[in-house]
Structure 1
Amino acid sequence: MLTTVVAVVAVLLVLTRGQDTYVARPPSSTEPSGAAEDVAPGLAAAALTRFADALRAGDPEAAARLAPADDPAAARRLAGIAANARDLSLTDLDIRYVDQSTAPDAEGRWRAVADVRWRIAGFDPTSAQAEVSFVLQSDASGVGIVSAGGGGDRSPLWLSGPITVRRAGEALVQVAVSARADRYARLARVAIASVARTLDMPQSRLVVEVPATEPQLDRMLDASSGTYAGIAAVTAPVDGSDAADAPVHVFVNPEQFDQLRRAGAQVVMTHETTHAATGAVTSRAPLWLVEGFADYVALRNVALPITTTAAELIARTRRSGVPRALPSTADFSVQASGLDATYESAWIACVIIGERVGTVGLERLYDRAGAGAPFAATLRQVTGLTLAQLTSTWRERLSDLAS
């Protein structure tokens, strides 16, 4: 089962304060009658094919020439996208016209859906593939491309406008706001080294995407508005695929992440890097173990007292009492209340396991459960504890912390 794994911001404020054939979707029932007669799909398809050619060549000038002649802003936008493709070393790149989605407006502009495929060479194991909306303009000279993204379809960051790309060791960071690029590159580089050191594993490749705004993050992930409000970052398949080898990136919510000071920001980045490095989005382990394990790695070398790193959990326990059971999947919903305390409680459970069998034992449990081994039996094999015993010990720990 595909899991989207996130990092809430509140828990960390205490530190500061997932070439195939393609089947076109059926036309929308809301499409205006006769709309298809108002455009030239063959010209639109040809324009998008030429655009893909320009992107593969990394040729901003060729891309700019595909904009409407009277729209210099569109020309700059397309040139920027071609530069993005070049800077990201995109490969397996293809854009195929699928269908018209709106009728032309008074200026001859209309939306079309295209199937886009791409892969970041050296970082993504396979290609991503998504339906992307393009704004096109029809006039006497043909069909020009105005922009990509929006329109209710997934909007990849690199297609949405100019970005800044930074490579830092095994990390690649793409940022919509240039001034943020160096900071994110540093955080990603440290996170990769920390995960590799803690888990005694080879350094894995990491891609981090940072949009300009929270609404842009929602569009990148094809999510409804406000889905990631209060979420600092999320690790997810680039195109929403549930395939085991789908490219997975870390996506940042700048409106939350940028509130964090250095320590909190590094914990979030290391948490998400742990998810990316260990295949968390397809893990079959209980979600409390997936999230608690990521915090265990992220907080492993953080020199802060537990009264700080578990502050929200302590406050909730004092207010509402000790929970009867380890956190459920529903407790980690991005719409759930008290997410910060829920994450901290999962971390405490992993701390208890780590105290008993060490980081190596905890990692063994995480890997076996993630691969689908029955959790209760695996827990007992690795730790000697039954699930009931772990829960009882965890509840006692929470009670002690709150006392």
Structure 2
Amino acid sequence: MTGGGLTRRGALLLAAGGLLQLSAPGAAPARGAGLDAAVAVPLAAPSQADRRSAETLLARYADAVLRRDAAALAATAVPAFRPGQAELLRRTAEVPLAAYHPRLTRLERSATGLTAEVQLDHRIAGYDHHPVTATRRFTFSDRDGQWLLAAEDPVGSALLWDLGTVRAVRGAHSLVLGLAAPADLAALSAAADSAVPAVSAVWGSSWADRLLLYAPGSLEQLSRLLDAAPGDYRGIAAVTTAASGAPKAAPADRILVNPEAYGELSDLGRQVVTSHEAVHVATRADTRPWTPLWLSEGVADWTAYLGTRRTTRQIAPELAADIAAGRLPAALPRDSDFATTADGLAQAYELAWFACTLVARRHGTRGLVALYRAVAATGSAEADREATVDRAMRRVLGTGLAAFTRDWRSALRQELG
């Protein structure tokens, strides 16, 4: 949590600095100065028994949440914290939790009891293959020789239910969990249900054929879910991310919607955005760290715009204006061009869409899909990325990256110049 005042840790550090200055080496304490009162007595480290008790209590807490047992959950907390525990059950009542598991990573003694840092894992039933991990800080208080929970606070990114009561809307191919208005959640579910079969028609049905979407109620809430500054995602309508507990290289599997940017779009725009993000989920198995963003974002836009009957100038208005003004790009977009705060972000997406459109025009949908999968199969973490794309292009398209880039620039000039 940020703010204008000192954090508790900051205040403690300043206080410690003051004590060090008062007792600097070589300075003899004055008689009767009460030196003993100024020296903080170190707190004893938690015992193994304390750790076992904390782990047992956390396991009871998690089991009660998963079983939605209000009485059992209340029994883990001091009276003052029980309303907060009841609120947790209320906020998660519609969340289909398949797992809820705390892992104690650090335990310290404080002046009032114990403080624990916990990795809290959960999985959404039917959607999560890997746990979503959130860091929490729990406070334990001693009551008649028994440790009980006295507080729980998020550290870093928030969970959706930290921000309010979660509503769930289930569609034929989707689950939307959100804090937005019920009508907005239903509309998002409908867009997701339309996106899934359209995306499967291009990419096949080997993926899950369903979408998990989170719909926070504001940009500020989205930023808290992503542990990011609100300005980083102000103009981004949606983002697809991997579960935070998934392996490092795991591709994205859930869609987070920015209600402010998404709400400003037309019905067609919302459908295109939802379909675009659905492509990222569908292609997760064929997306690698060496897949260039111009290719992954380009195929997502190309798929999303299929069947919309939009012209190139309608899909790429910023790019058309640039080329009309004589600003023809020299190369395909770099990954850095797709940063959420990058200048020319719209042009980067339009350039990527046009590149994939060019492949599909000349080699068909199968050629574009084959190229995407060939890049995944051809590369490695150690290999040069451009060389990987070049090899994949030669194998699938019969032309190298340099020649393709020249053709792409020529097509841009011809079509939009």
- Residue 181 of structure 1 pairs with residue 185 of structure 2: yes
- Residue 272 of structure 1 pairs with residue 277 of structure 2: yes
The 8 Å contact of residues 331 and 342 in structure 1, kept in 2 or not, is answered as yes
The 8 Å contact of residues 176 and 188 in structure 2, kept in 1 or not, is answered as yes
Match of 2:168 among 165, 168, 172: 165
Q: Which deviates more from structure 2 when the two are superposed, residues 332-341 or residues 367-376?
A: 367-376
Match of 1:198 among 199, 202, 212: 202
- Looking at structure 1, the residues matched to 90 and 113 of structure 2 have their Cα atoms a distance apart, in angstroms, of 21
- Looking at structure 1, the residues matched to 179 and 321 of structure 2 have their Cα atoms a distance apart, in angstroms, of 37
In structure 1, the residue matched to 2:66 is 56
SS in structure 1 of the partner of residue 79 of structure 2? coil
C-alpha spacing 1:62/1:125, structure 2 compared with 1 (3 Å): same
TM-score (norm 2): 0.77
In structure 2, the residue matched to 1:382 is 396
C-alpha spacing 1:336/1:384, structure 2 compared with 1 (3 Å): same
C-alpha spacing 1:34/1:388, structure 2 compared with 1 (3 Å): farther
- Looking at structure 1, the residues matched to 41 and 267 of structure 2 have their Cα atoms a distance apart, in angstroms, of 56
Query: Displacement of 1:75 after TM fit?
Result: 3.9
Match of 2:101 among 94, 105, 109: 94
In structure 1, the residue matched to 2:383 is none
SS in structure 2 of the partner of residue 90 of structure 1? strand
- Residue 302 of structure 1 pairs with residue 308 of structure 2: yes
In structure 2, the residue matched to 1:126 is 130
- Looking at structure 2, the residues matched to 65 and 184 of structure 1 have their Cα atoms a distance apart, in angstroms, of 39
Q: CA-to-partner distance for each residue in 1:77-129, whole Å, 9 max, x for gaps?
A: 22224524xx31423x211333368968xxx799742111222232222333x
Q: CA-to-partner distance for each residue in 1:39-67, whole Å, 9 max, x for gaps?
A: 98776555432220112213355445655
The 8 Å contact of residues 131 and 245 in structure 2, kept in 1 or not, is answered as no
The 8 Å contact of residues 58 and 82 in structure 1, kept in 2 or not, is answered as no
SS in structure 2 of the partner of residue 226 of structure 1? helix
The 8 Å contact of residues 100 and 111 in structure 1, kept in 2 or not, is answered as yes
- Output the amino acid matched with 1:171: S
The 8 Å contact of residues 244 and 282 in structure 1, kept in 2 or not, is answered as yes
- By relative contact order (CA 8 Å, sep 6+), the higher-ranking structure is 1
- Residue 210 of structure 1 pairs with residue 215 of structure 2: yes
- Looking at structure 1, the residues matched to 304 and 189 of structure 2 have their Cα atoms a distance apart, in angstroms, of 17
Structure 1: any 5+ residue segments left out of the alignment? 1-27
The 8 Å contact of residues 195 and 274 in structure 1, kept in 2 or not, is answered as yes
Q: For this pair of structures, how many residues does the alignment match?
A: 367
In structure 1, the residue matched to 2:290 is 284
Structure 2: any 5+ residue segments left out of the alignment? 1-8, 14-39, 380-387
In structure 1, the residue matched to 2:90 is 80
In structure 2, the residue matched to 1:370 is 376
In structure 2, the residue matched to 1:13 is none
The 8 Å contact of residues 236 and 281 in structure 1, kept in 2 or not, is answered as no
The 8 Å contact of residues 60 and 82 in structure 1, kept in 2 or not, is answered as no
- Residue 154 of structure 1 pairs with residue 157 of structure 2: yes
SS in structure 2 of the partner of residue 227 of structure 1? helix
Q: CA-to-partner distance for each residue in 1:332-366, whole Å, 9 max, x for gaps?
A: 12221111111011000000000011001100000
Query: Displacement of 1:328 after TM fit?
Result: 0.9
- Output the amino acid matched with 1:292: G
The 8 Å contact of residues 67 and 74 in structure 1, kept in 2 or not, is answered as no
The 8 Å contact of residues 213 and 255 in structure 2, kept in 1 or not, is answered as yes
- Larger C-alpha radius of gyration, 1 or 2? 2
The 8 Å contact of residues 111 and 133 in structure 1, kept in 2 or not, is answered as no
The 8 Å contact of residues 251 and 287 in structure 2, kept in 1 or not, is answered as no
SS in structure 2 of the partner of residue 231 of structure 1? coil
- State the percentage of identical aligned residues: 29
TM-score (norm 1): 0.79
Task: Please list, as runs of the form range in 1=range in 2, the aligned pairs for 1:223-238 lying within 5 A after superposition.
Answer: 223-238=228-243
The 8 Å contact of residues 302 and 356 in structure 2, kept in 1 or not, is answered as yes
